[in-house]
Structure 1
Amino acid sequence: MSLTSHVEELKKRHATLSQKVEAEQRSPGSNHLVIAELKKQKLRLKEEISRLSVTA
């Protein structure tokens, strides 16, 4: 897998997590711990994308 395709895959995963966060926030009785964990995962992906983009 090339670096570019890896970054694109990470961006897709980030977008999917964004959708999950939005869905969880809209749902009644949303679990704040789940939202926080999803946001942490998003942040880790964003940092990895940034790190790889600088390297490229």
Structure 2
Amino acid sequence: MNQPRDPAELSRLARRVVELRTEHRDLDGAIDRLQADIQADELALKRLKKRKLQLKDQIAWIENALIPDEPA
């Protein structure tokens, strides 16, 4: 994977990780509230959980891109 070398791009990716983590944390709260509601929509709950997993994958991908490549 090619690591971005441009400081502006590195900064943009770091900000994006913060945004994604915030959304991930917010989804935790929304999922908890839906699970506590007996009449909760199961489909909505599944969609929120799927979105949370997508965010986790995006965060991991960006963080991996930010790690400098080590020479072999």
| TM-score, normalised via structure 1 length | 0.93
What percentage of residue pairs aligned between the two structures are identical?
A: 29
Q: Which residue of 1 aligns with 2:17?
A: 7
Give, as a single letter, the amino acid of the residue that structure 1 aligns with 2:32.
E
Which of 23, 32, 36 lines up with 2:46 in the alignment? 36
1:46 and 2:56 are equivalent in the alignment: yes
Unaligned 5+ segments in structure 1 are: none
**Uncovered stretches (5+) of structure 2, i.e. residues with no partner:** 1-10, 67-72
Tell me how large the CA RMSD over aligned residues is: 1.0
1:19-51 Cα distance to aligned partner (Å, 9 max, x none): 100000001211111110000000000000000
Q: Which has the higher helix share?
A: 1
DSSP-derived class of the 2:38 partner: coil
User: Which contiguous aligned blocks of 4+ residues in structure 1 show a shift greater than 3 angstroms?
Assistant: none
Question: TM-score, normalising length from structure 2?
Answer: 0.73
Which of 1 and 2 has greater Rg?
A: 2
Q: 1:2 & 1:31 partners in 2: Cα distance?
A: 36
